[in-house]
């Protein structure tokens, strides 16, 4: 049994059908990239898995437990964490207060120092308000806030979007370290090459349909397919 199993989910925004029988699996300690052009349904897939958007049909299980139809907070308690594209840190709280708040309802929360060992920049900014952080620092905090809860699975939605190349390299290094430590990650990212550097397997979505499942090496062997669906 896979850690995460998504089977034939169909999701809608109002009357608009956005996901069509989407199925995917994620094994424990695996990094999976979910790729596709803008509007392909990648973020919608993550939101459906997290319970932000309820599927009209299909099933989603986390470590054997059905989670489709549950509220996001109940899914989070089962060990799933979404780092949203918008980051959604609390701007009026300090870095450390954001971390402490995230861990309050976690069974085994990380101590702040564990976060600071992974993100030294956050240690330097621990007393700064979230609103005063740079975009890269906010992204670090958003990821750290998820890690504080010691999740079974982390969903990363566009973690490198809009960030300077040096910051992207720093965050890539953190993600690589998480993968080496055996964290299970699903990453949605427009930076295809960065995502493929991290992933063991990848899926490609096109107009709400899964059109590819395989390894990064297999995908790179078909540059015409990559260009057609990813523009690279």
| Look-up of token digits 């055996």 | 182
Please tell me the distance from the alpha carbon of residue 226 to that of residue 61, in angstroms, as a whole number. 30
Identify the three-state secondary structure at position 144. Answer: helix
Pairing between β-strand 209-214 and β-strand 65-66 as defined by DSSP bridges: unpaired
Binned at pLDDT 50, 70 and 90, residue 167 comes out as: confident
pLDDT for res 232: 59
Average pLDDT along the chain: 93
* pLDDT tens-digit series, residues 113-159: 999 999 999 999 999 999 999 999 999 999 999 999 999 999 999 99
| Look-up of token digits 């009209």 | 56
* Range in 93-107, 165-179, 194-208 with the lowest mean pLDDT: 165-179
Q: Per the structure block, which two tokens stand in for 109?
A: 């929360």
pLDDT for res 208: 97
E strand map for the chain? 4-13, 16-26, 31-35, 57-62, 65-66, 80-83, 153-157, 184-188, 201-206, 209-214
pLDDT of 174 above 70: yes
Query: Taking the mean position of all CA atoms in its chain, how far away is CA 207?
Result: 20
Tell me how far CA of residue 208 lies from CA of 42, 62, 150, 216, in angstroms: 8, 22, 31, 21
Q: Average of pLDDT values for 169-198?
A: 91
Q: List Cβ<8 Å contacts ≥24 apart for 132-141.
A: 133/89, 133/95, 135/162, 135/163, 135/167, 136/163, 136/164, 136/167, 136/170, 136/171, 138/87, 138/89, 139/87, 139/163, 139/167, 139/171, 140/171, 140/174, 141/87, 141/89, 141/95, 141/98, 141/99
Q: Per the structure block, which two tokens stand in for 8?
A: 């034939």
1-79+152-162+171-232 is classed CATH 3.40.50.300:
yes
Q: Average of pLDDT values for 191-214?
A: 94
Contact (Cβ atoms closer than 8 angstroms) between residue 58 and residue 5: no
Domain boundaries, the chain: 1-79+152-162+171-232, 88-151
Binned at pLDDT 50, 70 and 90, residue 166 comes out as: confident
Which candidate, 136, 142, 155, 163, places its Cα nearest to that of 34? Answer: 155
Q: Average of pLDDT values for 105-113?
A: 88
Tell me which DSSP letter residue 110 carries.
P
Q: Average of pLDDT values for 48-53?
A: 96
pLDDT for res 163: 86
pLDDT of 107 above 90: no
């Amino acid at each position: 049994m896979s850690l995460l199993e998504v089977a034939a989910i169909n999701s809608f925004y109002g009357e608009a059908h956005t996901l069509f029988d989407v199925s995917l699996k994620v094994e424990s300690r695996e990094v999976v990239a979910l790729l596709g052009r803008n509007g392909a349904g990648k973020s919608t897939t993550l939101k459906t898995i997290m319970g932000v958007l309820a599927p009209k049909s299909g099933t989603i299980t986390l470590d054997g437990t059905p989670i489709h139809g549950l509220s996001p907070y109940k899914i989070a308690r089962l060990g799933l964490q979404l780092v949203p594209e918008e980051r959604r840190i609390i701007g009026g709280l300090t870095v450390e207060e954001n971390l402490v708040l995230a861990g309050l309802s976690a069974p085994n929360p990380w101590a702040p120092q564990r976060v600071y060992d992974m993100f030294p920049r956050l240690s330097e900014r621990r007393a700064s308000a979230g609103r005063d952080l740079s975009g890269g620092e906010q992204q670090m905090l958003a990821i750290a806030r998820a890690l504080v809860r010691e999740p079974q699975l982390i969903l990363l939605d566009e973690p490198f979007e809009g960030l300077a190349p040096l910051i992207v390299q720093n965050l890539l290094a953190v993600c690589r370290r998480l993968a080496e430590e055996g964290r299970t990650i699903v990453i949605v990212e427009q930076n295809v090459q960065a995502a493929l550097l991290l992933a063991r397997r990848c899926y490609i979505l096109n107009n709400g349909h899964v059109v590819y499942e395989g390894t990064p090496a297999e995908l790179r062997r078909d540059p015409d397919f990559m260009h057609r669906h990813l523009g690279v």
